[in-house]
Amino acid sequence: MFKLVGKETFTVGSTNTKATIVIEAISGFAYEYTLEMDGKSLQKFINNKNQTTKTWLLRVDGADCRVVLEKDTMDVWCNGQKMDTTGEFVDDGTETHFMVGEHGCCIKATSSGKKKSGIVHYLLLDGEKIPASTQ
């Protein structure tokens, strides 16, 4: 016999985020499966990540790339790899420089001028502005 209900915990991604699948019997042979990430429901985890990160999806030299900025630490990740960055203060905010392959990238952080919006981040790839992802 094997256990049909309970919890199974594992890690996800290069940051080893703790994930748990919770299996509960709801009636007869019906079961409910729930995914928790870092102890939060999946939706709460996603909402939190959307507030603390900024993501761009782009193609570089024919390959898909996902660039993620962690706003609290200013760490930059590309396809799950932490990038070597150089930060500098400029007249209108900050710039974080890094390379994707042979291409120069820069994440600019400037004030939106509005208290609710706070700081605006945008990505430049070889000087061209890349739209942020909504995913």
Q: Is the pTM of this model over 0.85?
A: no
Query: What share of the chain has pLDDT > 70, as a percent?
Result: 97
H-helix or E-strand spanning residue 44? helix 42-52
Distance CA(35)–CA(45), nearest Å, equals: 10
Query: What share of the chain has pLDDT > 90, as a percent?
Result: 69
H-helix or E-strand spanning residue 70? strand 63-70
Nearest to 122 by CA among 107, 104, 105: 107
What architecture (CATH level 2) is domain 53-130? Beta Barrel (2.40)
When mean pLDDT is compared across 7-16, 78-87, 90-99, 121-130, the lowest value belongs to 7-16
| C-alpha separations of 62 from 49, 65, 83 in Å | 28, 9, 20
Output the pLDDT for position 135: 62
Kindly report, residue by residue over 35-58, the tens digit of the pLDDT.
Answer: 999 999 999 998 998 889 999 999
Nearest to 37 by CA among 14, 6, 9: 9
In the chain, where the domains are located: 6-38, 53-130
Phi, psi of 29 (to 5 degrees): -105, 25
Output the pLDDT for position 100: 94
Q: Would you say residue 93 has pLDDT above 50?
A: yes
Q: Quick check: helix, strand or coil at residue 132?
A: coil
